[in-house]
Amino acid sequence: MTDSKRRKGLIASATLLGGVLTLAACGGSSAADRGHDGGAEATRHENSRQVDEAAAKDAADAKITILPGDGATDTGLNDASVAVSDGKLTDVTMTSVETKQPVEGALSADGSSWKPDQPLSRSTKYKVTAHAVDTQGRKAVENSSFTTVAPTDSFIGNFTPEDGSTVGVGMPVSLNFDKPVKNKADVESAIKIASSSNQKVVGHWFNDKRLDFRPQKYWQANSEVTMELGLDGVEASPGVKGIQNKTVSFHVGHSQISTVDTKAHEMTVVRDGRTLKTIPISAGSDEHATYNGKMVISERFKQTRMNGSTVGFKKHNGKGEYDIPDVPHAMRLTSSGTFIHGNYWGKGIFGKANTSHGCIGLEDAKGAKDSKTDGAWFFDHSQTGDVVDVVNSPDKSVKPDNGLNGWNMDWSQWVAGSAVQ
């Protein structure tokens, strides 16, 4: 089965930002690609459809649109806005990723739109979260991120993780450049990464815009990592020079590796060598199986919207097979749309059946309000950079560049992707 069959049309329509594709929806593969028994697959599909319909029946009519599109680059300084149809905006938060400073803005009198009060800053990455309600009081939420335009004769690198953050042992340093890099050796040489654990760190180019760094094995827990970004004046291509000269530091916290066994329908959470909890789960159905492999948590949302149409799951009327406006405790695992998240609509499936479109579901409560659920527990005990290792799925392994998942590439292959080794 090829990736083009697996998520038809997805890659062509998607944009990478900071190593992460900013689409919020589960992805999966098709039964036709797998050659499974048609009758059995029809039954599984019907079960999945019923679960999706149960999730969507209370969906808010309010539809939030954040401009520019999720993951956009080269955004004009006056081109950001938020709007809603069939509802009213209740809250919009826009924040500079680097400075953590909020962007002041105002809602329109009728609550249908929001805009920043002043032009945004150049060469800056922003995150946006917008909430709305419809006429029945049902809530909707939308998350987005984008980067503003840089001058044509300069380039910048959007990087993950953020300065001053605490991350898990699986978090690579990932840079996405806003312009193609031809002089890869010069650019890679201008980025220095050191850890207090003295681990050797090597870069790997996935393409001419993305460069990730990692050690051979996971970072040592409770260590410090520093990146010196010395790109100011470095030429990426003829006439295009870097403008960044800064030091970024982050703390590697606990070592948490959670193993999801899709056949056993359970996840075992191990922190610093000790098992914390075993949790019943529901993974992707046979027709939309979950990837195998080591996947790093790259984003966390207390609630987010998941729309099947954004990853190619459309009905004949063009709408998504599912559109859930308030998925609780969602954490991204791949850029193509795999999440591990809470599920309040699937009854009696956890620990027993795999019914999703590729995501990993944990029992949860609507509104993310019950701290005693498995979904809430896992969210509260996880951080970006933690590793979720999926085993015994009928699908193949996740590709190393699908999210922050370079750990699925052996060390010799990783080093071969460096321009300076």
> Contact at 8 Å (CB) between 128 and 60?
no
Written as one letter, the residue type at 30 is: S
* CA distances to 40, 44, 113, 204 from 80, in Å: 48, 42, 11, 33
Q: What is the DSSP letter of 366?
A: G
Active site residue 359: yes
Widest CA span in the chain: 62
Among residues 374, 403, 414, the alpha carbon closest in space to that of 258 is found at 374
Cα angle: 69, vertex 70, 72; to 5 degrees: 70
Active site residue 26: no
> Contact at 8 Å (CB) between 331 and 300?
yes
Calpha distance 176→240 (Å, rounded):
16
Among residues 145, 143, 206, the alpha carbon closest in space to that of 177 is found at 206
Q: Name the catalytic one among 204, 265, 329, 359.
A: 359
> Contact at 8 Å (CB) between 331 and 323?
no
Written as one letter, the residue type at 100 is: K
Cα angle: 104, vertex 107, 113; to 5 degrees: 115
Calpha distance 120→76 (Å, rounded):
8
Q: Name the catalytic one among 316, 341, 357, 381.
A: 341
> Contact at 8 Å (CB) between 294 and 389?
yes
Question: What is the Cα gyration radius of the chain?
Answer: 21
Calpha distance 371→369 (Å, rounded):
6
Q: What is the DSSP letter of 57?
A: T
The helix/strand/coil state of 311 is helix
CB atoms within 10 A of CB 7: 20
Calpha distance 110→89 (Å, rounded):
9
> Which residue in this structure is represented by tokens 């019950």?
370
Q: Mind telling me the catalytic residues?
A: 341, 359
